[in-house]
Structure 1
Amino acid sequence: MDSAASEKSIIALERWLQSPAGAYVRAWEQACLDKLTADIFGFNAVQIGVPQLDALAASRMPNKWQAATRLSSADELAYAAAGRQVAVALDFADLPFASQSLDLVVLPHVLEFAAEPHQVLREVERVLIPEGQLIVCGFNPASLWGIRQGMGRITSSDYLPAAGEFISLPRLKDWLKLLNLGATRNHFGCYAPPLRTAKWLDRFAFAEGAGQRWWPYLGAVYVVHAIKRVKGMTIIGPAWNKKASKAPQAVPAANRNERKQHDQHQNESNAA
């Protein structure tokens, strides 16, 4: 997939997110991201792609950016009204940030539609500080939606955007591990069947609770939370002054026996 094709596929994703199924996904992901980002502290955070989702809305970091490959006047006004700063990037594989400058990066459905997903991850690893955090949102191929998408490609009736290459969670974890990005938490959601109308999706609202309980790994979408680990780095804590213990030290048994024999010989010599 070249850059032009990647750009078209991302546009197709943004249009799909306006559909009833897309709104269902956005609502669940927004709630999940709000819970995750509210407890991540630092100074600089960036969301890459998918401006329809405000992934950093609940973040308390003072500096937050939306990285976009294009920016219309309407988008600029919308971002300004929401108080969101925009960093325009020609390519998500070449981010306009210095190395080790970001505390948090959020990738909502970017890897699935990127021309070079591995390079995007390498670039994210570059800009993250040691112990910096990454959140990835993706469609789960091991779900009813993933099965429906596979059947749709055969019948030319796609349910999800056709250009996406959906990544399984084990495969994504392998990619992250190669870059020393250790996955710490996984979240799955959107257990309703692949339906196209809001009416029918609402009727299956009960599936959310049932899915979380009975088949938690079969949600249509997942959110992965990872941390950048740096080998050989140790966190140095405060040097506490420890007072020397005044308690008497125990005498080893061997020493006690030698002392007893010495005293016995001494007493015998005095008696003689």
Structure 2
Amino acid sequence: MAHPLRENSIIVLGDWLQTPAGAYVKAWEQARLDALTADIFGFNAVQIGLPEINALQANRMPRKWQTDRHVPANLPNGASASVVVAHDFTELPFASQSLDLVVLPHVLEFAAEPHQVLREVERVLIAEGQVIVCGFNPASLWGARQMVGRLSGAHFLPQHGEFISLPRLKDWLKLLNMEIDRGHFGCYAPPCRTSQWLDRFGFMEKAGERWWPYLGAVYMVQAIKRVKGMRLIGPAWNKNTALIPNGVPATNKSHRNKHGQD
């Protein structure tokens, strides 16, 4: 069962994206996600959590879903994905090996069992399917600011999130046979609360990319699911994936029974 405080933190992060610092992060991530997902092809794509960011708007797959713990009141402009409610991200309502792309925008750092969420993503991805993970970088000025905030009580980000370092995330992905394809860092300005100060530090974007590329406030990692002993010849997508009436791939019953569910 997910920890209630951490569940609420995901919702709070959506509110935080409305602040100047949040808008700064959201703009960078939206632009990067558009660039990464535009050329990922297949039939089924899913964004898990944080509907305030439209991670799949540039992707051209015919079936796209937004999975969240509640029905979002306000979806981003241009949102075209169907909404699927999943109360637990460690039990996704999709069949095994049915998805070509899964995007996790800041889900792992606010999940009670982040490694189990990744295991579930590995289950639903087809061979050579891709996952994109967005996260806050603890090895950054923002990470240091968050650590100080925990001591002083003046939090810059939702306090119950646990930043996951990139080496740690890479280890988790490697254990699940996920091969890192590419990674990006961004948002090099200091953790300022006003647009005025964030704009003043705008010069740090290009400087950071050149001189201290691993110290960006946020990172984005793209990985590919590899299956040992399998060699793909031509397109491996399956147009006839079993679907339930509303168009969502049916849940794998054996996976649920393993966890003691009907």
| Shared fold (TM-score, shorter chain, > 0.5) | yes
Question: Is the 2:6–2:161 contact (alpha carbons within 8 Å) kept by the matching residues of 1?
Answer: no
Kindly report the root-mean-square deviation, in angstroms, between the aligned alpha carbons of the 2 structures: 1.5
The residue that corresponds to 1:126 in the other structure is 123
Tell me which structure has the larger Cα radius of gyration: 1
The residue that corresponds to 2:200 in the other structure is 203
CA offset digits 1:149-187 (Å, max 9, x no partner): 111111111111111000000000000000011111110
Q: Where do 5+ consecutive residues of structure 1 fail to align? A: 238-272
Instruction: State yes or no: 1:110 paired with 2:107.
Output: yes
Q: Which amino acid aligns with 2:174?
A: K
- CA distance in 2 between counterparts of 1:80 and 1:212 reads 29
Question: Is the 2:149–2:156 contact (alpha carbons within 8 Å) kept by the matching residues of 1?
Answer: yes
1:205–1:84 CA distance, 2 compared to 1 (3 A): same
Q: Which amino acid aligns with 2:150?
A: R
- CA distance in 2 between counterparts of 1:223 and 1:86 reads 23
The residue that corresponds to 1:39 in the other structure is 39
- Pick aligned residue for 2:169 from 136, 151, 172: 172
Q: Where do 5+ consecutive residues of structure 2 fail to align? A: 235-262
Give the secondary-structure state (helix, strand or coil) at the position aligned to 1:158. coil
The structure showing larger relative contact order (alpha-carbon pairs under 8 Å, at least 6 residues apart) is 2
Trace 1:133-212 onto structure 2 (pairs within 5 A). 133-212=130-209
1:80–1:221 CA distance, 2 compared to 1 (3 A): closer
Displacement, 1:3? 3.5
Question: Is the 1:43–1:103 contact (alpha carbons within 8 Å) kept by the matching residues of 2?
Answer: yes
Count of aligned positions: 234
Give the secondary-structure state (helix, strand or coil) at the position aligned to 1:36. helix
Question: Is the 1:45–1:105 contact (alpha carbons within 8 Å) kept by the matching residues of 2?
Answer: yes
- CA distance in 2 between counterparts of 1:143 and 1:136 reads 18
The residue that corresponds to 2:57 in the other structure is 57
- CA distance in 2 between counterparts of 1:3 and 1:156 reads 21
- CA distance in 2 between counterparts of 1:57 and 1:87 reads 17
Displacement, 1:80? 10
Question: Is the 1:89–1:95 contact (alpha carbons within 8 Å) kept by the matching residues of 2?
Answer: yes
- CA distance in 1 between counterparts of 2:164 and 2:79 reads 32
The residue that corresponds to 1:28 in the other structure is 28
CA offset digits 1:66-92 (Å, max 9, x no partner): 0011115x34xx479733211111111
Question: Is the 2:57–2:79 contact (alpha carbons within 8 Å) kept by the matching residues of 1?
Answer: no
Question: Is the 1:79–1:86 contact (alpha carbons within 8 Å) kept by the matching residues of 2?
Answer: no
The residue that corresponds to 1:98 in the other structure is 95
- CA distance in 1 between counterparts of 2:86 and 2:79 reads 20
CA offset digits 1:89-115 (Å, max 9, x no partner): 111111010000000000000000011
Percent identity for Structure 1 against Structure 2: 71
CA offset digits 1:35-84 (Å, max 9, x no partner): 00001010100000000000001001111100011115x34xx4797332
Greater helix content: 1
CA offset digits 1:210-241 (Å, max 9, x no partner): 0001000000000000000001111347xxxx
